[in-house]
Amino acid sequence: MDFYLRCNSLTCRAYLKERAVVTTCSHIFCPGCADGLGLSHPTSDNRHCPACQTILFNPDDAVSTILNPTEDYKTSVLSGLDPSTIMECAGRALGFWAYQSTQEILYQEFLGKSLTEKYTGLNTQMDKLILNANSEISNLHSKLTDLQGSQEQLQKKNEELVDMYREKSKKLSQMTNLYNLLKTRAMRSRMETAAFESVSNTLNTAPRIAPAASTTIPQPPRIPTLPLPRPPKTPSYPKSPDGIEQLHRHHRSGTVSSRRAGKNSSKVKMMQAPYPTLNRPKAQIANTMPQHRTRLPRSTRLPTNLSQLPPEDVIMARFGN
């Protein structure tokens, strides 16, 4: 694995592969950072190292070097120097490399430590978030359980209310049918009463139409009628408290009544006309009919009152529950 030096500018930290600017204080920079920080072309008499702020007085304190030299450069760069100079130059170069390696290791350790601290902080925050989330989840689970229990209770109450509503609806339909039946009966009785009253008022207040004098109705020729035979006289007998006539013992055998009836029948046969009931009204015919001797008393019948509805509290007490 190849190890490449990095630019010592903290804002750059780029890998150095071809060219770089090195200083006698063992720092190295990329050409861009060296130009930007005033290391390659100083604006004042004194140059400062951007990394350690060391004053660079000599012109050779900061030089540009090629990191990948050619074979000719490698051959000629130390040629002609004595071994001690060569070893000194090699030792200083190795010290520069060791310093840069150490600084890189320290920088990476610092980054690792800072990242570890950040990770520890983030881990602590994550643990707190996880703990808070778990507590919130447990609270939500408990609330969900409570809501499920309340939902079941509400469902039971809803079912009970539905059953009660159905019962009330049935009772209401029964009461409505009963009310309609009673209302129909009451309206029927009132209509009958009103009809009876209107008919009676109409009959009582109807004007009697007198026959007009100018209009003459042709009448059929009258048939001469003979005088009507008088009904046989029936003797009156004492009546009991119940209104029944009491006969005498010689009348029960029918001797007297039969004799009188025979005499009268012979007279009626002689006096009857050929058409006795042609122009006679029914009332006269009914009066001429012989009446029975005994009559039963009529049973006095109380007038029926109109049907009335029972009071409201009685209806509610009987059909309300």
| Strand residue runs (E) in the chain | 5-6, 15-16, 19-23, 28-29, 47-48, 55-56, 62-66
Q: What is the DSSP string of 45-87?
A: SSEE-TTT--EE-SGGGEEEEESS--HHHHHHHSTT--HHHHH
The answer to whether residue 190 scores a pLDDT higher than 50 is yes
- What residues have CB less than 8 Å from 244, skipping those under 6 apart? 294, 295, 296
The structural architecture, per CATH, of the domain 1-68 is 2-Layer Sandwich (3.30)
Range name among 18-27, 50-59, 128-137, 275-284 with the lowest pLDDT average: 275-284
Range name among 112-116, 127-131, 172-176, 216-220 with the lowest pLDDT average: 216-220
pTM: 0.41
Nearest partner of 245 among 234, 256, 254, judged by Cα: 234
Would you state the pLDDT for residue 157? 94
Question: Among 74-83, 95-104, 159-168, 305-314, which range has the highest average pLDDT?
Answer: 159-168
Instruction: Dig out the tokens for 29 from the structure.
Output: 């920079």
Would you state the pLDDT for residue 264? 52
The answer to whether residue 205 scores a pLDDT higher than 60 is yes
- Give the largest CA-CA distance in the chain: 207
The CA-atom distances, in angstroms, between 142 and each of 13, 131, 152, 308 are 55, 16, 15, 66
The answer to whether residue 253 scores a pLDDT higher than 60 is no
pLDDT digits (tens, 9 = 90+) for 49-73: 888 888 888 877 888 888 888 888 8
9 close to 33: Cβ distance less than 8 angstroms: yes
Q: Tell me the average pLDDT across 15-44.
A: 83
